[in-house]
Amino acid sequence: MRPHGQHFLKCEDVGLELADRLNPRTDDVVVEIGCGKGFLTRFVAQIGCKLICYEVDESLGEEFKRNVPFENVELRLKDFLEVDVEEIKGARLCYGSIPYQISSKIIRKVIELGFERCILIVQKEFAEKLIMGRDRRRHTLMTVLGQTYFNVSILRRVPKGCFEPPPRVDSAMIELVRKRVQLDLDGYEQFLKKLFVRPNRSVKAVLKEMDVAQCEIFENERISDLSAEQVLNIYSRWSNDEGRAL
């Protein structure tokens, strides 16, 4: 097992489909999250766009360079979670097969960095959580955060046999397409954390405690029943009430 718990992709059909769906222009700046040995990089680099590839495991640097001998590719041995907007200026697309254990942090980071579209390979269960909540009916904080900023769709299943070493569970390729939402990310995230402390409580009771106007319109719904649109509407009323801020 690698020190960072990596599972490296090896199925060419997955790489081909990801590059095809990403479909960057030759003048695009594209960011890869966790490029590893460069398996996915090769498929995207051949399109001709400028690629900025982040990898936290410095021991993979030389192997990556041997596998990806393209002049339009720049390798940066750095944790993607520490990237700021200025160092990827002009990048509107990103992709990657991301670590299961930090998927939520990466989704939050791609929101922060302002990408227009992302193609990511994530744990299948995490993909389903982004789409429809934990048990396919209930929404979680991550469901709402992701769906507030992106239209999220599952593109295909990626079987565990497509990785070396194989993980214990299947993965999925997902697409995130940015919505036109202008929000203070830190403030909104803190609001969601407060709202979802006890997701099975009734919406009416929680909003009453938070002094949100018109909380009586919710009858039997629980917090986990709320859609991203409903939460955004509540947040708007809550944050605008007498200029209140977190």
Q: Write out pLDDT tens, residues 54-95.
A: 999 999 999 999 999 999 999 999 999 999 999 999 999 999
Checking if the pLDDT of 134 tops 70, the result is: no
Kindly report, as residue ranges, where domains of CATH 3.40.50.150 are found in the chain.
8-178
Please say whether the beta carbons of 4 and 57 come within 8 A: yes
CB 2 within 8 A of CB 90: no
- The pTM assigned to this predicted structure is 0.91
Which CATH code of 1.10.3470, 1.10.8, 1.10.357, 1.20.58 fits the domain covering 185-243? 1.10.8
Neighbours of 199 (CB within 10 A): 18
Residue 215 above 90 pLDDT? no
For CATH 1.10.8, the residue range(s) in the chain are 185-243
Fill in the amino acid letter for 76: R
Distance CA 63, CA 6 (A): 15
What is the Cα–Cα distance from 65 to 144, expressed in whole angstroms?
Answer: 39
CA gap 103, 62 in Å, rounded: 26
CATH number for region 8-178: 3.40.50.150
